A = this chain, B = another copy of it.
C-alpha cells in the first residue's frame, strides 16, 4: 500500500492535433478530477506530438520519476500512431500479435459489415510481456507494462474509450494501491463568489478535527462547487462536514453530488404533476433551452415566449401597454405581468417572467447594464427578485437564467 498523497502519477498525451490547438485535451482534467477524489494529485502532465523522438524522450523521463504513467493517444491504425512501437523500443522487446485482440477487431468489422485493413491489424500488436486491456468502447485495446520504476498504462485518446478504460482499469488499480477510497462529498452553490465561499468555509477547513480532509473549489460561474474528501472511507466524518456546510450556505446550495439544476427542477415538477410556462426577454430563450435540454421536459413545459419586443410582451403575453409606458420594459411591474400573463396563457402552475438589460448597450444611470427583474408567479402569489449583475452579456444572461430556475427549485422542493 502506498499513501495516496505520495503516489507519483504523471499523464502523457500524444497527438499533433493536441499541439496545434485543434483539439483541447479534456481527458487529462477529467482523470485528474477523478484521481483527486481518491486523494491523489497528479504531479505532471505532458503533451507531445506524433514524433518518435519526442514521445520516446517524454516517456523515458516520466517513467523514471513516477509510480504510474497514464498515456493517451497513438494507438490508432495510422502511421502516426507510434505508442506501442515506442514503448517496445524503450523496453528493448519486439511487438507481438495478441490473437484475442486481433479476433475482437475482426469481429467488430464483421458486425459493421466493413472491410478490415492491414492497418487495423496493427492495433492488435503490443510490446512482448504487456498486459492487454480489452476495449469494449472502441477498436483499440490499451495495454500496461513495467518501464523504469513505473507502471505505464497506454490508453486510446478518444474520450469515451479513455474514460471507460480509466473507470474499468486505472482507477480501481489506484484504489487498490492506496487502500480504501476516501469519502467524497460535493455541494453546488449559486452565484457565490469563490472568495466568499472560501471565507465562509474557513472555520470548517481550519477545524483541527478536519486536518486530514482535503477541501477544494471549482468555479463555473454562476455555479461554484465546494468539495471535500475524507481519507479511508470516513463516510460519517464526511457527512458531519456536509451538515456544517449546509448550515453555512443554506439555500445557496442548489444541488449536491452529481445533481444539476435544470434536471432537478424538471424532476420536482414531474413529481408534483405541475407545469411551468416562460416569458423571457433579456435571457432570449436561454431558460427554455436549459429546461428542454433535459429529456422528458415536455411533461412539465409546454410554452415559452421570447418577448424581445414590447409588442410581443403586450400582444402574446398580455402585459398592458400602459404598464410598459409607465415603468419601462425593464421594471418590477412588467416582470410580474410577464410571469402572471404567461402562467395564464400556458395554463401552467408556474409562470416565470424575465426582463433586464444584458448589455453591452441599453444601460442608463438608473438602470445600468446588468439590471434584471425575475418574477415567479404561482398558486400562492408572485415573487419578484431585482438584481444588478456585473459582467458581460453572456454572464448576465446566464446568471439570470440560473436565478429563474433556482427560484422555481426553491418553490417546488419537498
Contact = CB atoms under 8 A, between A and B. Distances in A.
Interface stretch (A26-34, A113-121, A123-131, A196-204): A26-34
A307 interface: yes
Contact of A216 (B22, B47, B304): B22
Interface stretch (A38-46, A91-99, A103-111, A181-189): A38-46
Contacts of A32: 19-21
**Copies of this chain:** 2
A16 B215 CA distance: 13
Interface stretch (A149-157, A231-239, A288-296): A288-296
Contacts of A393: 293, 295
Given A21-B32, A36-B21, A298 B308 contact: yes
Contacts of A360: 295
Contact of A284 (B18, B58, B291, B359): B291
A41 B20 contact: yes
Interface stretch (A76-84, A245-253, A309-317, A372-380): A309-317
Contacts of A306: 278, 285, 288, 292, 303-306
A54 interface: yes
A113 to B, nearest CB: 17
A286 B289 contact: yes
Interface in A316-364: 316, 345-347, 359-361
A167 interface: no
Interface of A: 16, 18-24, 26, 28-34, 36, 41-49, 51, 54, 58, 61, 216-218, 278, 280, 283-289, 291-293, 295-298, 301-309, 311-312, 315-316, 345-347, 359-361, 393-394, 397
